[in-house]
Chain A
Amino acid sequence: MNKVRLIIYQILAYTFFMGFIAYLSSSPEWVHTLPDEATIKVSIRHSGKIVGECRDLTVTEIKNLSPNMKVPQECPRERSPVLLSIEMDDKLLYESNARPSGLQKDGVSTFYARFDIPSGNHFIKAVLRDDANNPKRAYRLEKHLEIIPRQVLVIDFKDGFIIK
């Protein structure tokens, strides 16, 4: 192969290499959410109620404890799982039962979920139950929301539901 042709072919090979790198570095575009959609993020960390009752220690039991460890009551550590359900426009959007974290099941229960929803008016209903022994105990939220396109709406919880 003569030298000029060789150089031309090399330039072509490098051009192909550059084109390949340049194109796939940013193309084709990926559609994550549609422009008229919004995002709901459910992100909650909440500790369930402690399962079981505290028990008063007897005088002998207290006596047997080391001087720096004397307490009048013995309480269980395990916490109740937390149940969360969210409905949007009367349709179930999310439901989860989060176990408490930790080997002793005494840690926090966490929820995280992300949904893409059409923008517009929506009715959100959320229920959180944190005591398996008392199903009547529940935190509730019922709210009409006007959600604009591309909005990121966060549903959080601190002594009650928070919408950010």
Chain B
Amino acid sequence: MKSPVVYVRKVGKMLLNPIELLFSKIFTDQANPFFHLGTLSFFFFWIAAGTGLYLYVFFETSVAHAYESIEYLVNEQWYLGGIMRSLHRYSSAAMVVAVTLHLLREFVKGRYQGVRIFSWVSGVPLLWLLFLSAIGGYWLVWDQLAQYIAILSSELLDWLPIMVDPMARNFLNAEAMSDRLFSLLAFLHIGFPLALLLGMFVHIQRISYAKTNPPKQLAIGVSSALVLLSLINPAMSQAPANLDVSVTNVGLDWFYLNVFPLIELWGPGWVWGLLVAVSVLIVILPCLSPHQRKPIAVVDPPNCNGCSWCFADCPYSAITMKEHDFKKGHKQAVVNPDLCIGCGICAGACPSSTPFRSVDELITGIDMPDLPVKDLLKLTDKKAKKLKGDKPKVLLFGCRSGAPTESLEQDNVAGILLPCVGQLPPSFVDYIFRNKLADGVMVTGCCEEDCYYRLGNTWLEQRFAAQRFPHLRTTGAKRNIAVIWAGEQGNKQLAAKLDDYVHTLENEGHEDDLRFVKGGRDE
């Protein structure tokens, strides 16, 4: 029986995939916001931090003047301080939206187990810090909303048996409030975001080439949207706080303050129960569904020349270099089994993975036990031999996380599926063209910016474009290789691109045309 988590993920994927496809059509794969939720979270954080610094210059940390100082910014300095205040608030809201979607998406796409568990679990305290940072900010405005959340948050904290004197005593009436408490709140509103930033830094430590900046197009788009929103609908304070008068209606920020109505409806105990239960559930989620660990990369010291290309390409920093076991002055790759995700990108990077080597048995420097390079070579030869018919023959390399290739197999098209296309050594493409095993080679995989193994499609494309080692060598390969990042939903686009490719090969020949075909599902 399958775990219910698997079904939840399936339903989530059914809902998410069409939305992502739509956004890819509108924004292109490169700038699809759903592929950049992590970097967008960073981006929104920086907007909130930058604008927060400006606001702090004018902010008065006293009960009597906090409200006034913000009103001054909003009314007297609306053109800058007012916009900054609105940006501060709206970017925080945008951040929680990005973070929530990021969490849901990683779950739905199954990117939270195995090696990724560190990032997954380290994200949970970040959620707490994010909410604490934001809630602390709402206190500082010291309006009716601040009064409401000050009373309820103190009641929530007082439920815990940690303080002798109830914190709520600080908010009994106007005379009970002190400036010292206000200074503490201001300090916390700086401290929590700093802790959040540190946590975000830790969160991305287990991945190499972690991106923290969204694409320029997206950054310009979202920041313009936030500025425009700040002008059209500036964030305003509610009536000033007065602890001698009870709060009736509050305009609640439902992104961050959604827990407060629950405190009123359920009581603090149940709310604590809910918060702890949700946090624990997120932490244990990786254990609630089966995760089959892929075989990890294995280094063969006699064939490792210490070039470090695998070290440079590993998306999870699982490879380090040490002194070679027996080649003096050389380095040798070492795989950390706890960090290796089993993608095979390292095998694709290894210069020893070339079929042109004069050896009895093709053994490469770093290889995958489930599909070694020698078996990949045999498979390529076998599939190529089966190609027949008058139409141009094409070998189609795909990946298990991309568009399915089985349905596209025909007499003249043979598909070879890899765990990740990054495992395909470019020399295999040279080998196919040099030995005329096929008229064309098409490579497909995950969408751009959305590789299941993070960097497989990026590195392979850079290898084909001679921007990253190992390069393509033969002219035929350089001219005739076709790359289509169709993604798992892109079967129709892939089929259409394959037809076009076959048609082009048929009509124009293949040897003399300069043609590095590249496409994605957004086209």
Asked if A107 is an interface residue, CB under 8 A from chain B, the answer is yes
CA distance in complex: A28, B254 (Å) = 8
Q: Mark B221-253, 1 if CB is under 8 A from A, else 0.
A: 110111011001101000000011111111111
Comparing B89-97, B269-277, B477-485, the segment that makes contact with chain A is: B89-97
Residues of chain A with a CB closer than 8 A to B27's CB: 10, 13
Determine if B252 and A33 form an interchain contact, defined as CB atoms under 8 angstroms apart.
no
**Max count, chain B CB within 10 A of own CB: residue among A22, A30, A34, A114:** A30
B26, B93, B233, B248: the one within 8 Å of A10 (CB): B26
Asked if A9 is an interface residue, CB under 8 A from chain B, the answer is yes
Asked if B23 is an interface residue, CB under 8 A from chain A, the answer is yes
B168, B249, B254, B260: the one within 8 Å of A24 (CB): B254
A17, A27, A32, A112: the one within 8 Å of B246 (CB): A32
Known A29-B251, A31-B248; contact A114-B151, beta-carbon cutoff 8 A: yes
Residues of chain B with a CB closer than 8 A to A154's CB: 172-173
Asked if B492 is an interface residue, CB under 8 A from chain A, the answer is no
Determine if A43 and B166 form an interchain contact, defined as CB atoms under 8 angstroms apart.
yes
**Which bucket holds chain A's interface residue count?**
35 or more
Q: Mark B75-99, 1 if CB is under 8 A from A, else 0.
A: 0000000000000011001100100
Asked if B68 is an interface residue, CB under 8 A from chain A, the answer is no
Q: For chain B, residues 1 to 27, give those with C-beta under 8 angstroms from any C-beta of chain A.
A: 23, 25-27
Residues of chain A with a CB closer than 8 A to B173's CB: 41, 152, 154, 164
Determine if B155 and A114 form an interchain contact, defined as CB atoms under 8 angstroms apart.
yes
Q: Nearest chain B CB to A148's CB is how many angstroms away?
A: 10
In the complex, residue of chain A having the shortest beta-carbon distance to the beta carbon of B256: A25
Residues of chain A with a CB closer than 8 A to B72's CB: none
Asked if B361 is an interface residue, CB under 8 A from chain A, the answer is no
Determine if A25 and B248 form an interchain contact, defined as CB atoms under 8 angstroms apart.
no
Determine if B248 and A108 form an interchain contact, defined as CB atoms under 8 angstroms apart.
no
Asked if A96 is an interface residue, CB under 8 A from chain B, the answer is no
Determine if B264 and A32 form an interchain contact, defined as CB atoms under 8 angstroms apart.
yes
Residues of chain B with a CB closer than 8 A to A25's CB: 89-90, 93, 235, 253-255
**Max count, chain A CB within 10 A of own CB: residue among B23, B155, B247:** B247
Asked if B164 is an interface residue, CB under 8 A from chain A, the answer is yes
CA distance in complex: A144, B252 (Å) = 36
A18, A38, A43, A45: the one within 8 Å of B229 (CB): A18
Asked if A35 is an interface residue, CB under 8 A from chain B, the answer is yes
Determine if B164 and A151 form an interchain contact, defined as CB atoms under 8 angstroms apart.
no
Known A21-B90, A37-B246, A41-B172; contact A27-B251, beta-carbon cutoff 8 A: yes
Q: Mark B323-365, 1 if CB is under 8 A from A, else 0.
A: 0000000000000000000000000000000000000000000
Residues of chain B with a CB closer than 8 A to A152's CB: 172-173, 243-246
Q: For chain A, residues 33 to 49, give those with C-beta under 8 angstroms from any C-beta of chain B.
A: 33-35, 37-39, 41, 43, 45
Besides A13-B23, A27-B254, A152-B172, 18 more A-B contacts (Cβ < 8 Å) are A9-B25, A17-B225, A18-B228, A22-B232, A29-B250, A30-B260, A37-B246, A41-B168, A41-B172, A41-B173, A43-B166, A43-B172, A45-B165, A108-B164, A110-B166, A112-B158, A151-B245, A156-B172
Can you sample 27 A-B contacts with CB below 8 Å?
Answer: A1-B25, A10-B26, A21-B90, A21-B94, A21-B229, A22-B233, A25-B89, A25-B93, A25-B253, A26-B252, A27-B254, A30-B249, A30-B260, A32-B264, A38-B246, A39-B246, A41-B168, A41-B172, A43-B169, A45-B165, A45-B169, A108-B164, A112-B158, A150-B248, A152-B172, A152-B245, A156-B172
Q: What residues make up the interface of B, taking CB atoms closer than 8 Å to A?
A: 23, 25-27, 89-90, 93-94, 97, 148, 151, 155, 158, 164-166, 168-169, 172-173, 221-222, 224-226, 228-229, 232-233, 235, 243-255, 260-261, 264
